[in-house]
Amino acid sequence: MRRLTLLLAAFCFLLAASAALGADSKARMIRVAAFNFYPCIFQQEGKVQGGFVDLIDEVARREGWKVEYLYGDWADGISRIKNGEVDLLTAVAWTPERSKFLDYSKTPLLTVWGELYVRRQSQLSNLKEIQGKSVAVMKADFNGASFRNMIDKFGISCRFVEYGNFEQIFDAVSSGKVDAGVVNNTFGTAKQHQYGLASSGIIFNPFDIYLAAGKGENVQVLAALDRYLAAWRAAEGSPYHLALKRWSYGNAAALHVTPQWLFPALIGCVLIWGAATAFIVLLRRQVNRKTREMARQAEDRLRIEETLFFINECGARQREDELLAGICQYLCACLDTDYAFVGELLAEKGRIRTRSFQGRGGGIEDLEYDLLGAPCQDVVGKALRIHPSGVRELYPLQRMLQDLEAEGYAGLPLRDSQGNAIGILAILSRRPLANLPIIGTVLRIAGARMAQELEAMSHLEDLNLKDFTIENINDAVYWVTPQGSIWYANHAASAMLGYSREEFLCMAVAELNPAYPMEVWNEYWQELKLKGTLQLETAHRAKDGRMVPVEITSNYCSYNGTEFNCATVRDIAERKHMELALEHRLAVLTEPMVNLARITVEDLFDLEELQAIQDSFAESHGVASLITDAQGRPVTRPSNFCELCEVIRGTEAGLANCRHSDAALVGMDRSGPCLQPCLSGGLWDGGAGIHVGGYHVGNWLVGQVLDESCDLERMVQYADEIGADPVRYRDALSRVQRMSREQFEKVCRSLFQIAGQLSRMAIQNVQQAQHIADRVRSEELLLEYRKVIECSQDQICVIDRDYRYRIANRSFLEYRRMSLDEVVGRTVAEVLGEELFAEVKPQVDECLAGNAVSFEIETESAEQGARSLAVAYNPIEDKSGSIRVACVISDQTEKKHLGEQLRQSQKMEAVGHLAGGIAHDFNNILTVIVGYGNLLEMDGSLTPHQKEQVEQIVAASERGAQLTRGLLTFSRRQIMNPCVLDLNALVNQIQKFLLRIIGEDIRLRFNPHPDALNVWADASQLEQILMNLATNARDAMPQGGGLSIETGVQEIDEAYARSQGYGSPGRYACMMVSDTGEGMDQKTRERIFEPFFSTKVVGKGTGLGMSIVYGIVKQHKGFINVYSEPGEGTAFKIYLPLIEREAEQEARPYASDIPEMGSETILLAEDDSGVRRLVESLLEQYGYRVILAADGSECVQKYFDHRDEISLILMDVIMPGKNGREAFEEIRTIDPKARVLYSSGYTADFMKIRGVFEESVDLVMKPVQPVALLKKVREVLDR
């Protein structure tokens, strides 16, 4: 039975264990990053413990979590939570940067602050003494960052040394590696004795620390911890308070106060008992004193903790004045003082206004006082000040101290986040103050929070004031988003346009202003962002549909990443109306005097001012008054009109009589005032006219008075005549102003004088307006002249009789590279120099004598080079009749250069005409010579001597053909066959031919550009350029030398292209051909491109080589320049436009293959018999059958006769009768498949002018070598 019981017990135990293991297997694992934050969390003997550990473990026990602590330093913890290695991080201060990757608990763990610790013997006790010292801080620690920020604001410079944790900081301070260290108060209080350190008394930046998890991670864990923490902080005896109490460092028993020499002393006591007894007594006294001191320190630390806890809790529940009052009441209780107050420094310096004044019994009415004569004057903006006693005697004039019977005083300056003084926190006591260090510390802690609140309250008041201002200004204010939506509008906007605030917030800009649809608004927004501020006038649509003219000042604003347009909108409807009226008045007043008849009273006077004059006159003289235009139409409102007139005008008959009476007054005389009884009611009326320049423009009427001569009975009867109410009529009559006839006449004479003065003022206004208009027109005209002078490319200036410059335009200043102040007022000699002044002085003197002078002058300077100037002096008179010289200087340098280019072009044109004229006949002759010469060369029966003679004939004819082509080329009459080619490849291909030209004693070097230089050019013509230049270089180096060809890329600007007279700016391929020959002087360089100009001996050259080069380059739309000095060699730079297309791959062959034989029938049409016979024999020799025709008509007929046999037509372009094109077109009408090959000795432009040539046809130019002709024939036949 006993064994069975044991088995059952074991089985139950196993079940319980397995259940526990199953529960544990389901428990959630929470990984916590731990670091040394003694005594809240730390590691001792490999175990993590502390107040926060107890708190987390208790929550984990209740929630069924498992907790694992990963210990390291602070940087390790941050790294681990970023990498997801841990779930929770303790003791984290909130910063904007950390909030990007952390989620924080809502309830803080604790309120701590930073504190600066030093060695016990250190004298460092305030911020100023940190200057130049070394301070240890923990890497990435909020305390260290706050301390750096604080001393930066005070302009203090010190050296910071970073460590991994607080223990390393204390070790560095203790060992003397640094002068001081920044840690939090909890660690410092607990560990200062262990390292032999003490607080410097400098504390700063109280802040809350929280639990934190990775962003978006462990939200439920944080929520659970928040729930427990919020409940436990509010309940005394909760696990939160028990944990803090357990690990509190405030208990004196927890502090190590036993001196290190105690144990050796006890051993000594054993050896020397008598002496030990006395020593023990002394030791006990010292231990008791140290114990009491430590207990007091612990009590002070506890009080500091309570202060921080209270401020944290109070700050979480209260704000503004309520928070200030709560802290002041706490200070009274905590520091055992009678009063505590916080004061705000007023805008007018030197005065303080209390924001909260508290006593032991409650609040005291706030007051305002001068700093002068008060203890606060030594505190505000300065430092903590404590007067333990006798404060009333120190400041006897401060009434507040006397009234409150203050004995002790302590005050702390309050500063904003920028370090500026904003107020004071002070306590007053009727007893002397005790424990001054704790008073200073508590005030600093409370002062930091109060300074924050005061600054926030000030900012809030500023915001409220700004909001009140925006809401109550007369101008409308809109805030508009970048998308054009309105998201704020003030009260003035609603009042101006009639929309409610809610309606505004649903509107877009385009609804208010149709001129700004979305695309226009987007452009406006981009311009506003670029410029910052824009101002414009436009119109906004009101709710009732009317368009309200507005002036808008837009301001681009960006706040916390939000962009918007803050627009101030002013209603300018009244201003626009006044501007239009003013424009009308100015337009009328500036009319010529002959148009005065159209001027009205409204044009001459401001009607509101005129109304005020009329009202004053009527009131002062006791009469009714009104001003009308010349036709009697009122232009002002009636002044002082009596009720009787209203009664009379209320009837139809009375109104008619009143108008008749007014009409009679309108025609009054100018010689004096007019008086008459009213033709309607019988009251006396008078008036005076207003005239301008003899024209009657208005009337000033007065009256509605009774004198002694008026027949009242007759006037009463008049009521019956017009049908007026007799009772009301009599009542109104009784109240009419009484005035004697003499008095009324004086009033009218006074009126006449005033009206006359108005008339004189009116004509003066007209004259003054016309004078102003004339002056404005003159100024506008003068401004236009000035603009014309300033925009002129010519240099314009004026010189007076003293040879001083009066004015000088922009071109003059730019040419001289001087400012206006350096020219105007200075003499010609000072500006131009004595030498140039002496040269132009005779012409200036002649102009000052009254004669116009024109001449040309050549100048040269380092900046401008040689310039040719045309100068014109013209005499002008000033107002006094004195002669001045108006000087116009035109730079003719470029014009002359272009003229020289024109003459050069004309020379070439003349040579071209000559070449074109003889080309056809000369080419026909050369064709026969070259053709038969080539046929003889191919004859194998010739002797060597005969063959040599034939070669000489062919060579001579080839030179003649080359000369003809050269003449046509430089005169741009030769047909080009351009293609895209690489300049580097072309030079590479022709190098072997150039070597044959220059000989073995001249070195040839080619330096190509690394990239391809693609140009649109005729390869054969570019080869001719290189061969001509190489020939000239060879002749310039009879003793040998070097020839260099270099290619590159050059940017041609507009100025350079303009100086050449043709071409356009852009990227050009540059080919430089230079030699080390004899070189050229300036005269030779200037004529180098002229036709038939040569420096060689007679017979050595034609003088056309460089002219041909010039013509080819110009035909390719390029430029050519020559650089040379005698004995220094010569360099030619040739610029050809670069193109983007790829160069053609096939290279042009330099040697001809033997032509193929043929058997087709060819119709040959050629008007020159010699050429006809040559081509016939050539074609027949190579197997072709030839049919001959002597002109175009015969060609057509022969084709009709043999069209089934003929495979190709070979015809001359220009022939008698029908030319080649006409003949071929006729042939194509009967045989569209007919093929033709043209030949011609005429120039290309001649054929184009005659309309017989198109770019797309097949053409061989005479003279043509037989082999080339046979190959072309074969090419056309084989297509």
CATH of the domain at 1022: 3.30.565.10
At 1261, which helix (H) or strand (E)? strand 1259-1261
**Cβ atoms within 10 Å of 262's Cβ, excluding its own:** 10
The answer to whether the Cα torsion of 1213, 1219, 1221, 1226 is positive or negative is negative
Asked if residue 414 lies in contact with residue 376, where contact means CB atoms within 8 angstroms, the answer is no
Place of tokens 């970048």: 482
Whether the model clears a pTM of 0.85, i.e. scores above it, the answer is no
Q: Which residue has the tokens 């939200």?
A: 219
CB 90 within 8 A of CB 32: yes
Residues in the chain: 1279
Cα–Cα dist 1042/1003, whole Å? 5
The sheet carrying 1066-1075 orders its strands as 1002-1007, 1041-1052, 1066-1075, 1130-1137, 1119-1124
Helices and strands (H and E) in the chain: how many:
41, 45
Same domain, 703 and 764: yes
Last residue of a domain, one of 550, 571, 592: 571
1243 part of a folded domain: yes
Instruction: Look at residue 454 in the predicted model and tell me its pLDDT.
Output: 87
Separation between Cα atoms, residue 584 and residue 566, nearest integer Å? 36
For residue 206, count CB atoms less than 10 angstroms from its CB and return exposed for 0-12, middle for 13-18, buried for 19 or more.
Answer: buried
* Residue 1062, phi then psi, degrees to nearest 5: -160, 175
Whether residues 339 and 213 share a domain: the answer is no
The phi, psi pair for 347, rounded to 5°, reads -60, -40
Question: How far, in whole angstroms, is CA 395 from its chain's centroid?
Answer: 59
CA 366 to chain CA mean position, Å? 52
Rounded CA gap, 1085 and 802, in Å? 46
Q: How many CA atoms lie within 13 A of 584 on its CB side?
A: 15
Task: Give the torsion through C-alpha atoms of 1254, 1257, 1261, 1266, to 10 deg.
Answer: -170
What is the rounded distance in angstroms from the CA atom of residue 1185 to the CA atom of residue 1195?
16
CATH classification of the domain holding 540: 3.30.450.20
The verdict on 947 and 1084 lying in the same domain is yes
Whether the CB-CB separation of 511 and 478 falls below 8 Å is answered with no
Q: Say yes or no: 459 and 477 in one domain.
A: no
- 860 and 803 in a common domain: yes
Q: Is residue 730 within 8 Å of 715, Cβ to Cβ?
A: no
Q: What is the CATH number of the domain that holds 665?
A: 3.30.450
Whole-angstrom Cα distance, residue 1124 to residue 1086?
A: 11
- 588 in the same domain as 552: no
- pLDDT lower than 50: segments of the chain: 1-25, 249-263, 593-594, 1098-1099, 1145-1152, 1252
User: What residue type is 375 in one-letter code?
Assistant: P
C-beta neighbour count of 1068 within 10 angstroms: 23
811 and 915 part of one domain? no
Q: Which CATH number belongs to the domain containing residue 1237 in this structure?
A: 3.40.50.2300
Distance CA 137, CA 166 (A): 8
Cα distance between residue 1159 and residue 464, in whole Å: 109
Does 777 map to a domain?
Answer: no
CA distances (Å), origin 572, targets 392, 512, 874: 63, 16, 52
Residue 301, in any domain of the structure: no
Decide if 10 is inside a domain. no
Q: How far apart are CA 993 and CA 756, in angstroms?
A: 108
Peptide bond into 39 cis (omega under 30): yes
pLDDT of 253 reads 31
Residue 286: inside a domain: no
Q: Give the count of domains, the chain.
A: 7
Task: Mark residue 278 as left, alpha or beta (left: phi above 0; alpha: psi -120 to 50; beta: remaining).
Answer: alpha
Q: Which domain holds residue 803?
A: 792-891
Q: How far apart are CA 223 and CA 59, in angstroms?
A: 12
Could you tell me if 457 and 482 lie in one domain? no
Q: What is the DSSP string of 798-861?
A: EE-TTSBEEEE-HHHHHHHT--GGGTTTSBHHHHH-HHHHHHHHHHHHHHHTT--EEEEEEEEE
The answer as to whether 1196 is a domain residue is: yes
Are the beta carbons of 453 and 436 closer than 8 angstroms?
no
- Parallel, antiparallel or unpaired: strands 134-138 and 159-163: parallel
One domain, residues 613 and 689 = yes
706 and 801, same structural domain?
no
871 sits in which H/E element: strand 865-877
Residue 962's pLDDT is 64
Last residue of a domain, one of 1121, 1137, 1153: 1137
CB 1243 within 8 A of CB 915: yes
Spatial separation of the C-alpha atoms in residues 786 and 789, rounded to whole Å? 5
117, two tokens: 């610790």
CATH of residue 200's domain is 3.40.190.290
- Examine the domain organization and report whether 1233 and 1109 are in the same domain: no
SS3 state of residue 1106: helix
Closest CA to 1200 of 1216, 1182, 1173, 1223: 1223
Q: Rounded to an integer, what distance in angstroms lies between the CA atom of residue 694 and that of residue 700?
A: 17
Rounded to the nearest 10 degrees, how much is the dihedral formed by the CA atoms of 603, 604, 609, 615?
Answer: -100
Query: Reduced to 3 DSSP states, what percent helix, strand and coil does the chain have, rounded to the nearest 5?
Result: 50, 25, 30
Q: What letters, b where the CB count within 10 A reaches 16 and e where it falls short, cover 478-516?
A: bbbbbebebebbbebbbebbebeeeebeebbbebbbeeb
Residue that terminates a domain, selected from 1137, 1172, 1194 = 1137
Question: How do strand 134-138 and strand 197-214 relate by DSSP bridges?
Answer: unpaired
Residue 1111 lies in a domain: yes
User: How many other CB atoms are there within 10 angstroms of residue 1242's CB atom?
Assistant: 22
Looking up tokens 């004193």 gives 289
- Separation CA 1162–CA 1181 (nearest Å): 13
| CATH number of the domain that residue 359 is part of | 3.30.450.40
Whole-angstrom distance, CA of residue 427 vs CA of residue 442: 11
Pair (435, 485) in one structural domain: no
Strand, helix or coil at 679?
Answer: coil
Task: Please state, as a whole number, how many other Cβ atoms lie within 10 Å of the Cβ of residue 97.
Answer: 9
Residue 983 lies in a domain: yes
Q: What is the pLDDT of residue 1047?
A: 92
Do residues 210 and 108 lie in contact, with contact meaning Cβ atoms separated by under 8 Å? yes
What is residue 875's predicted lDDT score, i.e. its pLDDT? 92
Indicate the residue type of 965.
Answer: R
Q: Are 52 and 33 in contact (CB under 8 A)?
A: no
Q: Which residue type sits at 746?
A: K
Q: Looking at residue 667, what is its pLDDT?
A: 56
* Residue 746, number of CB atoms within 10 A of its CB: 14
Please tell me the predicted confidence (pLDDT) of residue 62: 87
